Amino acid sequence: MRQSRKGALYLLLAVALIAGYILNLEQSRMEGQEDFPAVDWIREKEQADVGAIEQALLVREQEEAQALKQELLESEPEEEKPMDKQSLRRRLGAAVIVGDSVAEGFLDYQFLEADSVIAEKGLRADSAGEEIQKALDLMPAQLFLAIGLNDLEYCRGDSELFTEHYRERIKEIREQFPELPIYINGILPILPEAVEEKAELGYVDKFNEALKKMCEELGLTFIDSKDLLEGREEWYQKDAIHLKAQFYPLWLNRMEETAGL
């Protein structure tokens, strides 16, 4: 019986010691005086994990916002410039186009007025002086030249002769208007069936390369519009050379963009 009481006393003493230890531990924690490396390490990892999660969430929110912004931009249609005749005439402003029968399409289809286009069927680089002078008399702000179709056959494939005539015309312009912006249109593509009838019409690429080189040497701007006709054989007239009305607003738009009008 005495030993039983003694065991109980020891048990109560042990419980008291444990309770006191726990109480002291909690008090130390609250006072910030504990020194438990393992506990500190766990807490640091917890804090690091929270920071990483917060950073990941922030990055994700930014990515989602950027994706939404890009989606909205892609869903919004680009503002298209009006292609009606009045708008085309207004946008061309005081510029003048000089060209051959292909350029006549601007007048034939009534896209432009006679004071904006000086065109003549059969016009060549060697014979274009008079037509160019008519354009200069209009005091243009910009001058667009679209010459070369008839030179393919006349020069019999001699691109150097072609550009020699062209240089003479440029010289004449510069003598009167040294600072006038001049834009050189490349010769437009010709369909194979037309080349089969006249082999000289197959020199388009060769002549255009010569024109590009001339423009680089003279500091002029070359306008390449052949891409506008890729896969558009239906836009050609029966002769496989001249073009229907659908092409002209696009061609004029290309000139306008190149000149920054």
171 pLDDT exceeds 90? yes
Q: Does residue 72 fall inside a structural domain?
A: no
pLDDT tens digits for range 47-105: 555 556 556 656 665 665 565 445 434 434 444 555 566 666 677 778 999 999 999 99
Q: Does residue 225 fall inside a structural domain?
A: yes
Q: Does residue 63 fall inside a structural domain?
A: no
Task: Assign residue 138 the CATH number of its domain.
Answer: 3.40.50.1110
The structural domain count of the chain equals 1
pLDDT score of 91: 72
Three-state SS sequence of the chain: CHHHHHHHHHHHHHHHHHHHHHHHHHHHHHHCCCCCHHHHHHHHHHHHHHHHHHHHHHHHHHHHHHHHHHHHHHHCCCCCCCCCHHHHHHHHCCCEEEECCCCCHHHHCCCCCCCCEEECCCCCCCCCHHHHHHHHHCCCCCEEEECCHHHHHHCCCCHHHHHHHHHHHHHHHHHHCCCCCEEEECCCCCCHHHHHHCHHHHHHHHHHHHHHHHHHHHCCEEECCHHHHCCCHHHECCCCCCECCCHHHHHHHHHHHHHCC
Q: Does residue 43 fall inside a structural domain?
A: no
pTM: 0.68
pLDDT score of 30: 47
Give the structural domain span for 125.
85-259
Q: Does residue 73 fall inside a structural domain?
A: no
Q: Does residue 111 fall inside a structural domain?
A: yes
pLDDT tens digits for range 183-226: 999 999 999 999 999 999 999 999 999 999 999 999 999 999 99
Q: Does residue 76 fall inside a structural domain?
A: no
Q: Does residue 48 fall inside a structural domain?
A: no
